[in-house]
């Protein structure tokens, strides 16, 4: 049951990935049917993260009121509607509107699905289970790149954009049969149901042990309504956790990953790699590496820990991006494959660290009473930064050049290296109900209050 639920919740990551990655291959064909300005291209491409801002706000308002499962049902419906509307788009602005709907779906699911996974998984495998969401994002991106390549010969961009309708319907069918999060059930006073869900996902445990887990969750449940108030983030410890989560997503996005995923064929063309088919094949290779290394991250995250991987990822990303920036400044087409190697190296370091860890930290760090609020703020930071980076890239590349733009991304990763070394906590193997206190007891100096 745990495996089935992990796969189901992670399928929302697959939808996230396909809808984010598909635009890179569809864009050259969209430009043949529609007229884009620099601004409309940036906004259409950035419509998904922009819509996700509003989806994250909706999740913030309703995830604790209605539960995790109803919000995932709502997200499935939005995914299906947005995918259909994108496939039927008749203008730049109708396509942008469809991608805004898809963005709202992603905003809801990217907050709720990791929360659902973290709350249903045992502590010993929680890192791998929550990282399955990030894994499926990468699988979705790879699937989008392959779909783009398959339909590139006919230029059928409507098939590219409509592909997500199928997994959206599968997610809807699956989540309708899935149970609610046991921790939310306890929060809602439905302890018997919570015990049944825990028994289904951890059948190896005796009923006595299940009862202890339910009681631990009950004990962490706020007895005072004020404990769920926003004012609790004035506490230096909780404020530090919130600042850390927001900064982790800021640094993730300003590493430039979504620029690479959204504009890969154009970046490779400017680097000197000729031919759209070659560019799409290279882009698919980037997607395949992203998947493979995310699997590796799932294997090592509960063995090596979160903090060492975070530091390692920023160090490698800085070196890779600095190399790419230098190569763009040199502007030698014969070095195109060296630039491609730099992109591959960056994707390796991102996928093993910068990609999954902010999502995992976001799902782990906050106490139950404030988890929805803390995750919503972190998720909002992610989508605001995602939109800004994707929206501004065409203008930055045109004004500063690709070399200077990637140089800025490299500087952000250099700052991320210092930040992760100074503040990244370790949450490996700690029960959710104990994490915030453990961090406060063991590493107060690492709280960026």
pLDDT in tens, 277-325: 566 677 778 888 888 898 888 888 888 888 999 999 999 999 999 998 9
Nearest of 381, 307, 250 to residue 127 by alpha carbon:
307
What residue ranges do the domains of the chain occupy? 2-178+222-446
**Which pLDDT score is estimated for 444?**
42
Residue 273 pLDDT > 60:
yes
Tell me the whole-structure pTM to 2 decimals.
0.73
CATH number for region 2-178+222-446: 1.20.1250.20
Q: Report d(CA 243, CA 253) in Å as an integer.
A: 16
Residue 449 reports pLDDT greater than 60? no
User: The tokens of 124 are what?
Assistant: 């010993």
Cα-flanking dihedrals φ and ψ of residue 431, to 5°? -60, 145
If you average pLDDT over every residue of the chain, what do you get?
A: 84
User: Percent of the chain beyond pLDDT 70?
Assistant: 89
**Residues 223, 241: Cα–Cα separation, whole Å:** 22
pLDDT one-digit tens code per residue, 146-186: 898 889 888 899 999 999 999 999 999 999 988 898 888 98
Task: Give the tens place of pLDDT for each residue, 324-347.
Answer: 899 888 887 777 788 888 888 999
Task: Give me the half-sphere count of Cα atoms (radius 13 Å) on the Cβ side of residue 272.
Answer: 15
CA distance to 36, 41, 70, 202, per residue, from 45 (Å) = 11, 6, 29, 42
Which among 153-162, 378-387, 391-400 has the top mean pLDDT? 153-162
Rounded Cα gap, residues 437 and 439, in angstroms: 5
């Amino acid at each position: 049951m745990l495996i089935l639920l992990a796969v189901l919740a992670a399928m929302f990551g697959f939808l996230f990935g396909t809808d984010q990655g598909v635009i890179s291959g569809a864009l050259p064909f969209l430009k043949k049917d529609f007229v884009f300005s620099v601004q409309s291209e940036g906004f259409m491409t950035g419509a998904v993260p922009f819509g996700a801002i509003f989806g994250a706000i909706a999740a913030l308002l309703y995830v604790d009121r209605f539960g995790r499962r109803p919000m995932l049902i709502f997200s499935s419906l939005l995914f299906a509607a947005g995918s259909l509307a994108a496939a039927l788009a008749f203008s730049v602005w109708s396509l942008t509107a469809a991608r805004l709907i898809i963005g709202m779906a992603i905003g809801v699911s990217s907050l709720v699905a990791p929360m659902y996974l973290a709350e249903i998984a045992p502590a010993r495998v929680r890192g791998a289970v929550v990282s399955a969401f990030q894994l499926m994002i990468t699988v979705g991106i790879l699937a989008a790149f392959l779909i783009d390549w398959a339909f590139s010969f006919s230029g059928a961009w409507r098939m590219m954009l409509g592909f997500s309708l199928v997994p959206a319907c599968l997610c809807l069918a699956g989540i309708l049969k899935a149970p609610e999060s046991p921790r939310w059930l306890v929060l809602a006073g439905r302890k018997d149901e919570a015990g049944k869900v825990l028994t289904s996902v951890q059948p190896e445990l005796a009923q006595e042990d299940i009862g202890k887990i339910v009681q631990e969750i009950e004990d962490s449940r706020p007895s005072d309504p004020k404990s769920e108030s926003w004012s609790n983030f004035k506490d230096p410890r909780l404020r530090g956790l919130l600042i850390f989560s927001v900064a982790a997503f800021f640094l993730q996005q300003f590493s430039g990953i979504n620029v690479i995923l959204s504009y890969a064929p154009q970046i490779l063309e400017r680097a000197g790699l000729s031919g759209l088919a070659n560019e799409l094949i290279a882009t698919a290779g980037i997607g395949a590496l992203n998947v493979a290394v995310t699997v590796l991250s799932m294997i090592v995250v509960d063995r090596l820990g979160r903090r060492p991987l975070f530091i390692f990822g920023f160090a490698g990303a800085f070196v890779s991006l600095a190399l790419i920036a230098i190569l763009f400044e040199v502007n030698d087409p014969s070095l195109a494959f060296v630039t491609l190697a730099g992109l591959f190296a960056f994707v390796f370091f991102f996928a093993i660290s910068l990609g999954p860890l902010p999502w995992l930290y976001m799902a782990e760090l906050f106490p139950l009473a404030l988890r929805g609020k803390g995750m919503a703020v972190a998720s909002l930071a992610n989508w605001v930064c995602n939109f800004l980076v994707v929206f501004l890239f065409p203008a930055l590349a045109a004004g500063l050049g690709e070399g200077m733009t990637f140089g800025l991304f490299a500087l952000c990763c250099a700052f991320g290296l210092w930040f992760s070394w100074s503040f990244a906590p370790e949450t490996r193997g700690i029960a959710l109900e104990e994490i915030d206190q453990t961090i406060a007891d063991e590493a107060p100096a690492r709280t960026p209050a």
